[in-house]
Amino acid sequence: MTQEQFVDALKIAVTESSVKGVVSALESPPGRKPKDLYKKLSEWYNGLDAADKNMVVDIVRLSIDHGVFGFLCVIDGVRAIAGGDKSGEFTLSYKDVDGESILNDPNEDYLHDLYNAE
């Protein structure tokens, strides 16, 4: 798997799936006894007109994009976690029958840059 394939798969499996999941929960809260917050947000969302609903979906997508981007910054080693300690590093690899590839190779493009590329 290449870095580009990983980022493309991430956009589908995480970003788009999460947007659809949040919008679905706003339209109709999940479960037999949804949390009060879910019910309250759903009532508010369902009372919006189509243009405002589209704005909410855009905000949801922006939020998820920022979260995924921030996570990839951590994986790439350009954003510290654990109280700012940068003494360690993450290695993200993909293994299949053809072998193993390092997806966040420091000598290659950053995953967060690929994620933000149009």
Count CB neighbours of 3 within 10 A.
21
Quote the pLDDT of residue 81.
81
Angstrom distance (rounded) from CA 64 to CA 68: 6
Angstrom distance (rounded) from CA 117 to CA 68: 13
Quick: pLDDT tens for 65-90.
999 999 999 999 998 887 766 677 89
Determine the 3-state secondary structure of 111 from DSSP.
helix
Under-70 pLDDT residues of the chain: 84-86, 118
Regarding pTM above 0.85, the answer is yes
Angstrom distance (rounded) from CA 45 to CA 59: 13
